[in-house]
Amino acid sequence: MKPQIVFQGEPGAYSELAAFEYFGSGISPLPCASFEDAFAAVADGTARYGLLPIENSLAGSIHRNYDLLLESDLSIVGEYHLRVSHCLMALPGTTLSDVHQVHSHPQALAQCKHRLRQMGVEAIVEADTAGSARMIKERGDTTAAALASKRAADVYQLQILQESMEDNPANYTRFLALTAQTTQEHTKGDFKTSIVFSLQNQPGALFKALSVFALRDIDLTKIESRPIQGKPWEYMFYIDFAGHADSQSGRRALDHLEELAAYLRVLGSYPRHRIV
Amino acid sequence: MKPQIVFQGEPGAYSELAAFEYFGSGISPLPCASFEDAFAAVADGTARYGLLPIENSLAGSIHRNYDLLLESDLSIVGEYHLRVSHCLMALPGTTLSDVHQVHSHPQALAQCKHRLRQMGVEAIVEADTAGSARMIKERGDTTAAALASKRAADVYQLQILQESMEDNPANYTRFLALTAQTTQEHTKGDFKTSIVFSLQNQPGALFKALSVFALRDIDLTKIESRPIQGKPWEYMFYIDFAGHADSQSGRRALDHLEELAAYLRVLGSYPRHRIV
């Protein structure tokens, strides 16, 4: 039986493309309407893994998933950077000059703004990229195109009129692979660890917290702060650092941080994925 | 002549309410379709000030405005924390039991999720809160209500069926007052300073940067990281600290930070607004 991998979105979504690229073609992808549903499907064992977007190089962090990581008991076991390339797709036979309207998610439309302006087409906002492709197919609309992943063109049998429609090619989305059961095998190699913690609201508190890494020459790859619900202007800090939580320096840094933090949780250690 | 204050949104938007509460009733509020247009109206002198949302206590930072602050030459001269209280409003004569559909911005609908579920109504997504109120008025729809600010009820002559519809009362939006011309009068008192900087991508770089504040017992009230466009996974850091940039310790800390930072800009020093 193929392992079930849950993602948020419709068939053909960028998240589904990322799941195939990360886990390989031998998976059974399971679409889910919301991030909440995707987390729940992993937690209740419906899916072995979830692959959820956490950050885009242009748009920034996907905060809802930071909050859901905190609320759930799931662990991070991997990461993947997907190169986001928006394809313009339409019904077979439709040519570029036939296209008067382009449907997509607001973010995809914004990322292709200059190209769409050059084409002189009307941008129409839809709930998601893959759904826009499905709609073109269902309506049989030959005057419209969708901006979506190349996988969406396969799924909905549309023809790609143009690839790489995005204005800025440095467009990557970082995905996290999540699971309910973790079995750690080894701690050496090129690992990354994600943690979340809160601090007492005192001058220098964050400086002291970061010292536990700096004093051990541990590289931070990401820092993010999120308001704590119900406590205006108090923050949870999400940090990614280079190395494994169970390595000697990783363990010592986390023990040290535990002395300072009001709350601390290790979300997972996982092999680092570098953009080539 | 009343000073023109630009805000993003339609008449009746939460931003307009914040403008009246912060600047007083003697202003002439100028609605703008986008954050970009609002920044431009201040930059070209159409408006003396802009009041833009930067952070919500539940939803987190409004990243687009961080990016626009960096792109523009405007200075921050004030801040205001608006208590966001969603009012359910309908045409006069409509009662709670008449309401089958509630229109609003997705975030407002999400923040009132439990209350709307109790009411057993359908939630319908619209582009903004004030626009939902205007639509109810224009359509003369007596089976629908909007979730919007109390000011929207005034503007569109709707009746408030229920105040404080939000599930979580700790709902505040922090606004920044921006201007093109700054005249600093004094540096003492309860000030806050906002800065933005980038660092060399080296282990411990952020720790060293924060040391310039910790070594001088300067309290940080906010830290935020944003990806630098075109440089995947390199970050701009936005920090708010207690005190004025032109105070002795503020100036020394910033001189010290300049030694370490690849880029540094002071966005402004302004009187701190505390939630009462």
Question: What residue numbers bound the domain in which B126 lies?
Answer: 87-162
B275 in reach of chain A (CB within 8 A): yes
CATH number for the domain spanning B98: value is 3.40.190.10
Evaluate whether residue A251 is within a structural domain. Answer: yes
- Residues A148 and A95 placed together within one structural domain of the fold: yes
User: Exposed, middle or buried: residue B272 (CB in 10 Å: 0-12, 13-18, 19+)?
Assistant: middle
CATH number for the domain spanning A211: value is 3.30.70.260
For A95-245, where are the alpha helices, taking DSSP H only?
A: 106-111, 113-119, 129-139, 150-155, 205-214
Nearest to B179 by CA among B31, B3, B55: B3
- Residues A201 and A243 placed together within one structural domain of the fold: yes
Q: Which residue in the set B63, B217, B232 is minimally distant from A203, CB to CB?
A: B217
- Residues B253 and B204 placed together within one structural domain of the fold: yes
Evaluate whether residue A38 is within a structural domain. Answer: yes
Q: Quick check: is B142 catalytic?
A: no
- Residues A93 and A30 placed together within one structural domain of the fold: no
pLDDT on residue B181: 79
* Stretch B189-201: mean pLDDT: 92
Structure tokens belonging to residue B113: 């999720």
Q: Is B261 helix (H, G, I), strand (E, B) or coil?
A: strand
pLDDT on residue B128: 85
Give the predicted TM-score (pTM) of the model. Answer: 0.81
- Residues B202 and B80 placed together within one structural domain of the fold: no
- pLDDT confidence tier of residue A276, bands split at 50, 70 and 90: low
Q: Quick check: is B173 catalytic?
A: yes
Residue pair B27/B43 in contact by the 8 Å Cβ criterion: no
End-to-end CA distance of chain B: 32
What percent of chain A is modeled with pLDDT above 70? 97
Evaluate whether residue A14 is within a structural domain. Answer: yes
- Residues A30 and A66 placed together within one structural domain of the fold: yes
- Residues A76 and A110 placed together within one structural domain of the fold: no
Evaluate whether residue B15 is within a structural domain. Answer: yes
pLDDT on residue B215: 92
pLDDT on residue B185: 63
Q: Which residue in the set A203, A211, A275 is minimally distant from B218, CB to CB?
A: A203
Interface of A with B in 32-61 (CB under 8 A): 55-60
- Closest approach of chain B CAs to the CA of A233, in angstroms? 6
pLDDT on residue B136: 97
Looking at B7, B175, B191, B241, which residue is catalytic? B175
Residue pair B163/B153 in contact by the 8 Å Cβ criterion: no
Count of other CB atoms within 10 angstroms of residue A185: 4
- Residues A19 and A8 placed together within one structural domain of the fold: yes
Chain A's closest residue to B58, CA to CA, is: A229
pLDDT on residue B239: 93
- Residues B112 and B240 placed together within one structural domain of the fold: no
DSSP state of B224: E
For residue A57, the chain B residues in CB contact (below 8 A) are: 227, 232-233
* Stretch A245-274: mean pLDDT: 95
Q: Which residue in the set B60, B206, B227 is minimally distant from A210, CB to CB?
A: B206
For chain A, where are the alpha helices, taking DSSP H only?
A: 14-23, 35-43, 63-71, 106-111, 113-119, 129-139, 150-155, 205-214, 248-260
Nearest to A260 by CA among A204, A220, A221, A216: A204
Evaluate whether residue A217 is within a structural domain. Answer: yes
Cα–Cα distance, B237 to B194 (Å, whole number): 11
What percent of chain B is modeled with pLDDT above 90? 74
Looking at A7, A39, A175, A241, which residue is catalytic? A175
- Residues B67 and B175 placed together within one structural domain of the fold: yes
Q: Is B6 helix (H, G, I), strand (E, B) or coil?
A: strand
For residue A81, the chain B residues in CB contact (below 8 A) are: 232
Q: Is the pLDDT of residue A184 over 70?
A: no
Q: Is the pLDDT of residue B186 over 80?
A: no
Beta bridge partners of residue A178, listed in sequence order: A50, A76
Looking at A23, A35, A39, A173, which residue is catalytic? A173
pLDDT digits (tens, 9 = 90+) for B86-115: 999 999 999 999 999 999 988 899 889 999
pLDDT digits (tens, 9 = 90+) for A58-93: 777 788 898 899 999 999 999 999 999 999 999 999
Interface test with A, best of B54, B57, B249 (most A CBs within 10 A): B57
Residue pair A230/A32 in contact by the 8 Å Cβ criterion: no
Chain B's closest residue to A230, CA to CA, is: B170
- Residues B254 and B120 placed together within one structural domain of the fold: no
pLDDT on residue A224: 83
- Residues A212 and A107 placed together within one structural domain of the fold: no
Domains: count for chain B: 3
ipTM above 0.90, yes or no: no
* Stretch A102-108: mean pLDDT: 89
Which of A179, A209, A224 represents a domain boundary (last residue)? A179
For residue B168, the chain A residues in CB contact (below 8 A) are: 229-230
- pLDDT confidence tier of residue A222, bands split at 50, 70 and 90: confident
